[in-house]
Amino acid sequence: MEFGQRTCIMGVVNVTPDSFSDGGKFLTHEAAVAQGRRLAADGADILDIGGESTRPFADPVPADAEIKRVVPVIARLADELSIPISIDTMKAEVARRAIEAGASIVNDISALRFDPDLGAVAREFGTPVVLMHMLGSPKTMQLAPSYDDLIGDISVFLKAAIVRAQQQGISKSNVIIDPGIGFGKTVSHNLLLLSRLQSFTALDVPILVGPSRKSFIRKLLKDEHSDDIPPDTPIVETGTQAAVAAAVLGGAHIVRVHDVAKTRATVRILDAMKAAQEE
């Protein structure tokens, strides 16, 4: 894929019972495949298939369970669709089985920190890797997250992640970074990340941003007397599109979302605006 001409859209398929955004809706293989087809028809450039929830405080899933969830889905979608499929995993064996089934990108929220063999799998198959910033693990990341310098600290982390990937034999041209919206960040942290996203272009690799349905959007939009808003409601999607717009204007090359159709309309307008500025 070539980045820069337009913003690419990564559509999310959660083959899990407990994802914060749509837990259980696509747990069966048939439902997950149907959702993948739907997102592709809506204009997704990439499908991101995951079998382990990474919501705050989530418990880890054994590799064999994760494989059973995602590999049959990836195999069927890879056979039917021409767009790239990404495997959202932190485990080397899951990544290997997913790539053998047809995945061609590894989306690792641990940035090659949790499984020492994951980088070797990406190197062996020559697959691009997404390296994301996260404080701790999903189980601990939202326990009072704090930073001395949010943008500086995340930049240092991502720069080190790029070096780590290169040391494991992965070319920098195969690295994508993700500043990790919602992964060990407060509402204010997420807003600052979106407003300062341009800072990460200095790392000279494509940037992925995943704001879709995240809790900071729901917290900003909920009534003061409400505990939360369901993630898949229209008002949350409206808030998501505002965050997507900020990401695109800040230089994101890929946006990771649940509603591809609405995102496609958003990015087409913003990409046209950016192109007009360059004429």
- Active site (catalytic) residues: 214, 256
Using alpha carbons only, what angle is made at residue 91 by residues 32 and 201, rounded to the nearest 5 degrees? 85
Place of tokens 């997102």: 39
For 115, residues 6+ apart whose C-beta sits below 8 A from its C-beta are 90, 91, 92
How far, in Å, CA of 236 to CA of 45, rounded?
23
Closest CA to 13 of 111, 1, 34: 34
From the centroid of its chain, how far is CA 39? 15
State the burial class of residue 194 (Cβ atoms within 10 Å of its Cβ: 0-12, 13-18, 19+).
Answer: buried
Decide: 267 and 211 in contact? Cβ < 8 Å.
Answer: no
